[in-house]
């Protein structure tokens, strides 16, 4: 009998890299999986429900008969109207949680982001820290913070909720970070801010999938808290950016900008971009204040609680991940 016999899992956002990877892994291990997302996920062996987490009918249809939810779906971007983020990351999360309660779901793994507790200053070996919508930077971080607080408030013995915050996920197929860095490096538009020596943590894609699947197993005994998930290998930001660029066959970035002026310029560009309505078409500004802060401040996390709680350690090191990424681009 399969180790996941009896697990009936809904994975939201399975048209994205992480959601699809989790759905595939759960199917392979014998779980009964339903996926919900706006465009078909086409995960072999899973039943696909096409719809939005903001649509009560689609959510109810996907939730029927489930006992476990992995909520990955979110609006992820650095620009666009605030109401778009609110609708998906806050109202959508509330809708999924309420549907889970009505359906008698027992386990709920909610995917969040370390940005929910980042106020622009360095993070050096800290734990997760509380989500703080008032101090989080940008529409994405603020709404993900609000959504995380809703998820944690729903935690109870009959609906156990565990929050994971994957940090700077990269690897083959990733369009959010990996391809953006490589494309900008190819175009000569990937700046290094200041000395680029700030230590940052990151997470290889396979490790992210492994951690989420481990959370599905851990949530019965560990719930009501948030865990940051990383490789646990802090590297200077410049080293990581150069490594990703090389792996993608792009020249190493050589453009250097002082960090202070970059942050100020990012704030101005962001406001002009939003005022001009450019983000409504899905385009993103070349620089934002949040991006400048991420590229110039340290942010790495103590992983002891995460690994203890999940019973998980990363299988792929950063160096091995870069080798796999290079092989992906060569192919």
When divided into structural domains, the chain yields a total of 1
**140 within domain boundaries:** yes
**267 within domain boundaries:** no
Query: What would the two tokens of residue 56 be?
Result: 């009560």
Please state, rounded to an integer, the average pLDDT across all residues of the chain. Answer: 88
**263 within domain boundaries:** no
pLDDT at 112 over 90: yes
Q: In terms of DSSP H, where are the helices of the chain?
A: 17-28, 56-63, 82-85, 93-103, 138-153, 178-186, 205-218, 237-247, 259-275, 289-296, 304-310, 318-330
Evaluate whether 209 touches 25 at the Cβ level (below 8 Å).
yes
One of 85, 140, 204, 329 is an active-site residue; which one?
A: 140
86: left (phi over 0), alpha (psi -120 to 50) or beta: alpha
**193 within domain boundaries:** no
3-state secondary structure of 140: helix
Instruction: Name which residue leads in pLDDT, 325 or 77.
Output: 325
pLDDT at 278 over 60: no
**50 within domain boundaries:** yes
Instruction: Name which residue leads in pLDDT, 130 or 269.
Output: 130
**Mean pLDDT to the nearest integer, 114-133:** 82
Global pTM reads 0.91
Q: What is the pLDDT of residue 195?
A: 67
Evaluate whether 107 touches 219 at the Cβ level (below 8 Å).
yes
Q: What is the pLDDT of residue 1?
A: 45
Place of tokens 């970035």: 253
Q: What is the pLDDT of residue 42?
A: 86
**Mean pLDDT to the nearest integer, 100-106:** 97
**Mean pLDDT to the nearest integer, 121-147:** 86
Q: Encode pLDDT of 311-327 as tens digits.
A: 999 999 999 999 999 99
**323 within domain boundaries:** no
Q: What is the pLDDT of residue 296?
A: 65
Instruction: Name which residue leads in pLDDT, 327 or 138.
Output: 327
User: Range of 81's domain?
Assistant: 8-170+202-233+301-315
Query: What would the two tokens of residue 315 be?
Result: 């299988």
Q: What is the pLDDT of residue 128?
A: 81
Query: What would the two tokens of residue 253 be?
Result: 């970035």
Q: Encode pLDDT of 30-73 as tens digits.
A: 999 999 999 988 899 999 999 999 999 999 999 999 999 999 99
Q: What is the pLDDT of residue 79?
A: 62
Q: Encode pLDDT of 1-34 as tens digits.
A: 466 888 999 999 999 999 999 999 999 999 999 9
Q: Encode pLDDT of 201-216 as tens digits.
A: 999 999 999 999 999 9
Annotation says 140 is catalytic = yes
Q: d(Cα 174, Cα 20) in Å, to the nearest integer? A: 12
The CATH number of residue 216's host domain is 3.40.50.720
Q: Which residues, at least 6 apart from 35, have a Cβ–Cβ distance to it below 8 Å? A: 10, 11, 12, 14, 15, 19, 23, 41, 43, 46, 47, 48, 49, 62
Evaluate whether 161 touches 154 at the Cβ level (below 8 Å).
yes
Q: What is the pLDDT of residue 265?
A: 52
Q: d(Cα 308, Cα 276) in Å, to the nearest integer? A: 47
- The interaxial angle of helices 289-296 and 259-275, nearest 10 deg, is 160
**274 within domain boundaries:** no
Q: What is the pLDDT of residue 126?
A: 81
Q: What is the pLDDT of residue 88?
A: 95
pLDDT at 117 over 90: no
**327 within domain boundaries:** no
Q: Encode pLDDT of 144-181 as tens digits.
A: 999 999 999 999 999 999 999 999 999 999 988 899 88
Instruction: Name which residue leads in pLDDT, 277 or 125.
Output: 125
DSSP 156: B
């Amino acid at each position: 009998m399969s180790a996941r016999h009896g697990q009936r899992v809904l994975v939201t956002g399975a048209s994205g890299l992480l959601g699809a990877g989790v759905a595939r892994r759960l199917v392979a291990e014998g779980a009964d999986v339903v996926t919900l997302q706006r465009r078909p996920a086409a995960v072999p062996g899973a039943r696909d429900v096409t719809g939005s987490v903001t649509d009560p009918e689609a959510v109810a249809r996907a939730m029927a008969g489930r006992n476990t939810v992995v909520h990955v779906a979110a609006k992820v971007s650095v620009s666009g109207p605030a109401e778009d983020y609110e609708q998906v990351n806050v109202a959508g999360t509330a809708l999924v949680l309420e549907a889970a309660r009505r359906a008698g779901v027992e386990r709920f793994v909610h995917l969040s982001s370390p940005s929910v507790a980042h106020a622009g200053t360095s993070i050096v070996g800290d734990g997760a820290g509380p989500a703080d919508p008032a101090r989080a930077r940008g529409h994405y971080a603020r709404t993900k913070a609000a959504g995380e607080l809703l998820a944690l408030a729903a935690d109870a013995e009959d609906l156990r909720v565990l929050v994971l915050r994957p940090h700077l996920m990269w690897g083959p197929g990733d369009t959010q970070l990996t391809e953006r860095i490589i494309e900008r490096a190819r175009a000569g538009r990937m700046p290094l801010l200041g000395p680029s020596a700030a230590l940052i943590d990151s997470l290889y894609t396979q490790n992210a999938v492994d951690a989420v699947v481990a959370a599905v197993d851990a949530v019965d005994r560990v719930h009501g808290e948030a865990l940051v998930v990383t490789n646990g290998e802090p590297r200077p930001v410049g080293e990581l950016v150069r490594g990703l660029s090389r792996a993608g066959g792009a020249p190493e970035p050589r453009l250097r900008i002082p960090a202070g002026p970059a942050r100020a310029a990012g704030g101005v560009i962001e406001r002009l971009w939003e005022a001009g309505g450019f983000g409504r078409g899905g385009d993103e500004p070349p620089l934002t204040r949040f991006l400048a802060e991420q590229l110039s401040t340290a942010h790495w996390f103590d992983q002891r609680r995460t690994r203890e709680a999940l019973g998980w350690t990363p299988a792929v090191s950063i160096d091995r991940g870069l080798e796999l990424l290079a092989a992906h681009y060569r192919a």
